[in-house]
Structure 1
Amino acid sequence: VIAEAYLKGIRGFDAEKAYEAMKTTMMQDARGLKAYKKYGYIPYNVGVDESVTITLEYAYDDWCVAQMAKALGKTEDAEFFLKRSEAYAHLFDKETGFMRGKSIDGKWRTPFDPKRSDHRENTDYTEGNAWQHSWFVPHNVKGLISLFGGNEPFLNHLEKLFTESSEITGDNVSADISGLIGQYAHGNEPSHHIAYMFNEAGQPKKTQYWVDRILQTQYNTTPNGLSGNEDCGQMSAWYIWSAMGLYPMNPASGEYQFGRPLFDKVTIHLPNGKTFTIIAKNVSKDNKYVKSVMLNGKAYNQWYISHDDLLKGGELVFEMTDK
């Protein structure tokens, strides 16, 4: 949160002191960090539950600390934390395509069932399973793709997440696994960036397809209109961003991925007094695919827009189609 705020130009706080707190937090010994520092990941047999999820989240935290360090001119720190943010690679099992629990001596935890959930005890995953937690590398999707061996195997596995059966196994299944499309669990926040990852592997149409499915099936206007706990407003936030056609897949990167806009026109009133307008031509229930993108009247060929460009104000035009 601090890194994202600072990198998006929010000032008025002591950045040096805030950075010191971030660095101190990530260099302490509590909550599995001692093992994380020693092995580069948290082994499942050091007495820390949910070791895979925590390792992946620490890797992202490290990346955020590195960005803040870089912005403050602390080159040595930036390099240290950036290197450590590759911790996810230790837990990736190329044979199965999942992030798995690993022991102190580097052996995978067996038996392994990617659909199994054990709520908060004797588990490698927090309130979920391997299918849901193996995608948490928002800071380096390209790095994750290369662990799979390229776009194709990555895309096949990612598509399978949404098309696999929704059976969750185990006798102490987490109640937090809800809003299922295949094994994708929209009712819990760790899944919320996943549909946007197709963009990074050259298949934006898949992002558009699955974001549309989530928008259409996981929200409605009844008392039970959200598929999971609204924790800090995140279920609604996902909807609002996605309905605009944007999403902060990696918030601290300052980039908003393109998805599938729902409205023909959305106007964002920016704090600097400017406005940013998103127009979706020919948008409808069937026309969920993006045919072309224009930014301020010029053809635009990236699948994201930066926070800085958005703050300049202007007009983003999606032309929509049913193919």
Structure 2
Amino acid sequence: MAERISGKQVAETVKAQVAEAVRSLPGQPSLAVVLVGDDPASQVYVRHKVTDTEETGMRSIKKTLPATATQDEVEALISDLNNDDEIDGILLQLPLPEGLDANRAIECINPDKDVDGLTEASAGRLVLGKPGLRPCTPTGCVILAKHALGENLSGKNVVVIGRSILVGKPTALLFLAENCTVTIAHSRTQDIEGLCRTADILVPAVGRPQMVKGDWVKPGAVVIDVGINRIDAPERGEGKTRLVGDADFNDCEPVAGHITPVPGGVGPMTRACLLQNTVKAACYRRGWDVPAGL
């Protein structure tokens, strides 16, 4: 039976490390979060991010625009934050209201303040192995794998299911930087089940609920489930739903050595890694040494 990897516990450890790092710095890092519209889920996420930022001793700045905001207004706000030397990190909360171009808005963010690691410049730095701000969810996946297997992942076979620019590709590159042997599987992959069975670390990140079954998993492997999908749960009552990952947890748990639950696995790590990135952004921009452990 697999050991469950508690993303909540690991995220709290990372958060404590960030708080300690902040106390050691000569100044206070700051994170600006931009929220456009009134999406309820986005409001909850932003509230959590503001709380996390303040609890670790950093300054939080929340900027809001109405759902009626134009593309020019969104980009003008981002430009103002770019030009504000007191702001170290900028986070644009997604999704944006219908009619707004998220990719265009993201590209307006100064790469030195891109704490989500989503700009083309940040992606280029990742590909080239240059210092920079890495995407939060993929970074969290690597941290969770190290929590299960130890700091040295060198030589491990990693299979990432999904090739998105947000998760799949950067996750593969980050594991490659750890000297893993990495394969990206996708909808055209032949014998995907057999390929997955070769993985010491299996990372489903494709957005298909419970796609990965127990017979896809190499006995003793680590399963880092990035998927978060809402499915019907009639057993809970009429109209009820529940969250599941891209891996069928109950089917995979008896086979895997370690596995992340959904929810409570990768999700909390995304927020924790955002805090790490804010500290790093401040250090890079201000010429401070990055504290050990980050």
Normalising by structure 1, what TM-score? Answer: 0.28
Task: Compare CA radii of gyration and give the structure with the larger one.
Answer: 1
TM-score by length of 2: 0.29
